[in-house]
Structure 1
Amino acid sequence: MNIRRNVSWLVALISSLVLMLTACSQSGTSATGASESGAASGGGDAKALVVYFSRTKGIEGGDLDIGHTKRVAMFIKDYMKADEYEIVPAKDYPDTYDETVEVAEKELDSDARPEIKNPLPDVSGYDTVFVGAPVWYDEYPKIIETFLDGVDLKGKTIVPFVTHEGSEMGGVQTFMEKKYSGEKVLKGLPIEGPKSAESKDAVEAWLKELGF
């Protein structure tokens, strides 16, 4: 009889532990740019969202450990205590610079909307949305337009930023002001790509100038 009681108690204990572990696993979210439901990653109470597309391969000057635009985005995120959403293409761009240039030109000529792999974030709870990417052919990469077409930024403060190899903002500021003519589009920040790792002071000075 004592053995039966002990076995019953042990079975009940194991069942309780299994239920606890299952509940914990279901409450977690993905550690990528978005959770499985598409929510942006961050602390949960942020009023700003930093959206960015960044690359580590196919870069002029060689591959990187961290993309230029991502470095700038992280400086913005830290200062603003913002959430982040990284745009991940469904189809990877080429690993070489020359091939990437060719793809970018074709996308521009065809006004393409490359598919985004990760679910788009719910932007409804944010007051300010930063949008960053490298400058390709004087413009945002077309995958940024895929994102912009897929979310509603009405009523938001929109802030562009870019990394570049000499083009500064290119046509990005004009594009954003035209696309969101009824919204508040603030002055964008251009950072030269190779200087992105040392751009923290420039980023913070820009944000303070904008009133953040």
Structure 2
Amino acid sequence: MNILIAYFSYTGHTKGIARQIQALTGGDLFEIRPAIPYPQDYDTAERQGRRETRDGYHPPLAEPSPDLSGYDALLLGTPNWFNTAAPPVATFLAENDFGGKPIALFCTNGGGGLGHIPADVKALRRDAKLLDSLNLYEDGGAGAKAKIADWLKKNGLM
């Protein structure tokens, strides 16, 4: 199975999970990055992220997405930003045609769980075939690898 692992990461937690997923699946990594990076100061970035999610803003991305036609499935990672996907992930979803490919979400959070990320992704991509989602607190801790493997198996991706 040819898998694309696309993710946005601000603190590095989601990036770390994406790399663990890649090690287990052999999938291709694509980092979703906004054209203008978020400020390094956490409080400033938080205010900006809150404003963008509230306003439904889709920031331009730093680079175009890879051609999705050659992939069988998409594993899409985002931190939970105010109970939804980070704005760059919303841009990625809005700008791409997934052609009915299955999408498995993985989310890192600081205590908010999945929030309403699956429902918001479905609202952005009504044609999306969402698989079960993975929710990890921060970097997932010592049990992350086992949780990731279980999630991949449950979704038929490993």
- Using the size of structure 1 for normalisation, the TM-score is 0.69
Out of 111, 122, 138, which is 2:67 matched to? 122
Q: In the TM superposition, what is the alpha-carbon distance from 1:194 to its structure 2 partner?
A: 4.2
User: C-alpha separation between the residues in 1 aligned to 2:141 and 2:74?
Assistant: 20
* Sequence identity percentage: 33
Q: In the TM superposition, what is the alpha-carbon distance from 1:144 to its structure 2 partner?
A: 0.7
Out of 98, 111, 114, which is 2:56 matched to? 111
User: C-alpha separation between the residues in 2 aligned to 1:210 and 1:195?
Assistant: 19
Out of 45, 57, 74, which is 1:100 matched to? 45
User: C-alpha separation between the residues in 2 aligned to 1:137 and 1:80?
Assistant: 30
How do residues 1-212 of structure 1 correspond to structure 2 at under 5 angstroms?
47-56=2-11, 67-196=12-141, 198-212=143-157
Contact 2:2–2:71 under 8 Å retained in 1: yes
Contact 2:94–2:124 under 8 Å retained in 1: no
Contact 2:94–2:125 under 8 Å retained in 1: no
Contact 2:17–2:139 under 8 Å retained in 1: no
Q: In the TM superposition, what is the alpha-carbon distance from 1:180 to its structure 2 partner?
A: 3.6
Match of 1:63 in 2: none
User: C-alpha separation between the residues in 2 aligned to 1:128 and 1:206?
Assistant: 14
User: C-alpha separation between the residues in 2 aligned to 1:195 and 1:183?
Assistant: 26
Contact 1:50–1:77 under 8 Å retained in 2: yes
The structure with the largest strand share of the pair is 2
Q: In the TM superposition, what is the alpha-carbon distance from 1:196 to its structure 2 partner?
A: 4.9
Greater relative contact order, per chain length (Cα 8 Å cut-off, separation 6+): 2
- Please provide the CA RMSD for this pair: 1.6
Contact 1:52–1:87 under 8 Å retained in 2: yes
Contact 2:14–2:139 under 8 Å retained in 1: no
Contact 1:71–1:197 under 8 Å retained in 2: no
Q: In the TM superposition, what is the alpha-carbon distance from 1:197 to its structure 2 partner?
A: 6.5
Question: What are structure 1's unaligned runs of at least 5 residues?
Answer: 1-45, 57-66
Residue identity in the other structure for 1:103:
Q
Q: In the TM superposition, what is the alpha-carbon distance from 1:198 to its structure 2 partner?
A: 4.9
User: C-alpha separation between the residues in 1 aligned to 2:65 and 2:127?
Assistant: 23
Deviations for 1:87-116, whole angstroms, at most 9, x for unmatched residues?
121111111221111001111222111111
Q: Which has the larger radius of gyration?
A: 1
- Using the size of structure 2 for normalisation, the TM-score is 0.91
Number of residue pairs aligned between Structure 1 and Structure 2: 157
